[in-house]
Structure 1
Amino acid sequence: MDPYIEKKLAGKHITAVVGHFGSGKTEFSVSLAFALAREFPERIALVDLDIANPYFRSRELAQRLRQSGIAVYGSSYGYEITAELPALDPAARAAFENPGFRVIVDVGGDQSGAKILNQYRKYLKDGEYELLCIINKNRPETSTLEGAISHINAIEEQTQLKITGLVSNAHFVTQTRADDVMQGYYFTRELSKTTMIPLASVCAPESLADEVAKQREKGGYMFDIMVLGLYMRPSWLDRKL
């Protein structure tokens, strides 16, 4: 079993995922759901609370997710969830309340979108959840340590929750190279040292995972690789830049 997935199965039962638009947080959330479901079928739930971004919503994969044994919830899936009046289907609440489930929450793309997490504070008790912030150093908002720290602080202020882990996801969509992934690791490692927030994992597309692992071994680095399946790539993104 992949070491990072093994840790996730043994870890907190709720993982909320935040990050700027373009960070790849939904790609991470969906890839994580599929990876966990391969090891723990029928016990994985994906909750879509991203009300701000209609283009990269998890709903695009609702049928495939369900066919893989993943329960999916949110306004994308027929349940009305809005910033003004959030609501969860009773089955979703059951998943939140059952520690035997692994629940992944895909949150809005910035601090204002993340604010919706305030509505679910009763499920996010200290020590019982992970709040992961996806960092793409190639996005203008998080291309510097100062910008990334400002982003983290804004999310924590809006949600009144502490980010518990950083996930490096440096990418140029279909043009990403292994060196880009490693540059993202170096950046997020420094961000981790500065903020004292642990580096949870480093994302790599499936096609680059082996090369990134080789560079990790060559450099003597210690980080877990989260393999991304690139499920959220619409066809227009495959055009040459």
Structure 2
Amino acid sequence: MRASSICSHRLSIVTGHYGTGKTEFAVNLALALAAEGEAVMLADLDIVNPYFRSRERKQLLESSGVKLISSSQACSDADVPSLPAELLTILESRDIRGVLDIGGDPVGARVLARVQPKIVSEDYQLIYVLNANRPEVRAVEPAITYLRGIEATTGLSCTGIVNNTHLCNETTEREIRKGARLAADVSRETGIPVLCHVAEEKFVPALSDLPETVFPITIKMKKPWE
């Protein structure tokens, strides 16, 4: 499966509730695009989550051909709610595929509102990462409310849902399928399509019957104590 099949737009903005695994998805997506020969830049704009940040995998990303930019590359554990100057390179360079990792709630997404006029003039998709095991979004109504809050804050329209339901090391095929059902229900209520289901490679063969693409990943984002 080619990453471009779920990432047909030049800019992919990845957002979702804290703990959904959006950074894991963003990192794997950027790496997959680079492996397909794309010129890729990944922007770490997450000012909410102090533990799982794409900037923590800078060496891996850049050795794989992904240019990483963040609000503070010199101090990886600093919360600096400012936009890196290099972000304009992603927004304005039409030969670059950009993946933007946004903070996991409407407050974190607020940083993107500053460049909303530029984004809407480009070919972009706003991806809502959904994890059915997060208490705040495990039912249809709160999941949609959260999605709409991000849209209202950013001034952007969500164009795709990604099911990334997991339980870290205790993830099972059953959990992923539970998330697939939730994603389908949210899609039905909102009219926003399900782009893919995220799964570690070992689960992919067993999920081949799902109607949408299964995006295989390897875990890159470890907990600080691992």
- TM-score over 0.5 for the alignment? yes
Equivalent of 2:25, from 28, 33, 47? 28
Taking the aligned partners of 1:103 and 1:161, their CA distance within structure 2 comes to 16
State how far apart, in whole Å, the 1-side matches of 2:108 and 2:9 are. 23
Residue 42 of structure 2: aligned partner: 46
Local SS of the residue matching 2:211: coil
Sequence identity percentage: 33
Q: Secondary structure at the match of 1:32?
A: helix
Runs of 4+ in structure 1 displaced over 6 angstroms?
none
Aligned equivalents of 2:121, 2:201: Cα separation in 1: 33
State the match for 1:227 in structure 2.
Answer: 216
Question: Which residue pairs with 2:125 in the alignment?
Answer: 130
Please tell me whether the aligned partners of residues 81 and 87 of structure 1 are also in contact (alpha carbons under 8 angstroms). no
Match of 2:192 in 1: 197
Give unmatched runs, 5+ long, in structure 1.
none
Could you give the per-residue CA deviations for residues 127-186 of structure 1, whole angstroms, max 9, x where no partner exists? 720000100011001111111011011111111111111001111011101111111111
Give TM-score, length-normalised by structure 1.
0.87
CA distance in 1, matches of 2:99, 2:154: 17
Higher share in helix: 1
- Please state whether the residue corresponding to 1:197 is helix, strand or coil: coil
* Alpha-carbon distance, 1:81 to partner: 8.5
Separation (CA, whole Å) in 1 of partners of 2:88 and 2:27? 20
Indicate whether 1:65 and 2:54 are aligned.
no
Question: 2:148 maps to what in 1?
Answer: 153
- 1:7 and 2:5 equivalent? yes
Contact kept, 8 Å, 1:48 with 1:76, in 2: the verdict is no
Deviation at 1:88, TM superposition (A): 1.8
Tell me the equivalent position of 1:175.
Answer: 170
Secondary structure of 2:43 counterpart:
strand
Distance 2:83 2:28 in 1: 25
* C-alpha RMSD of the superposition: 2.0
> 1:118 — aligned with what?
113
Q: Secondary structure at the match of 2:120?
A: coil
> How much does 1:112 deviate?
0.6
Aligned to 1:18: 15
Task: Write the letter of the residue equivalent to 1:54.
Answer: P
What one-letter code is carried by the residue in structure 1 that aligns with 2:215?
Answer: M
Structure 2 runs not aligned, ≥5 long: none
Residue-pair matches, total: 224
C-alpha distance in 1, partners of 2:174/2:10? 33
Residue matched to 2:202: 207
Aligned to 2:70: 74
Deviation, 1:236, is 4.3
With the length of structure 2 as denominator, give the TM-score of the two structures: 0.92
Secondary structure (helix, strand or coil) at the match of 1:155 reads helix
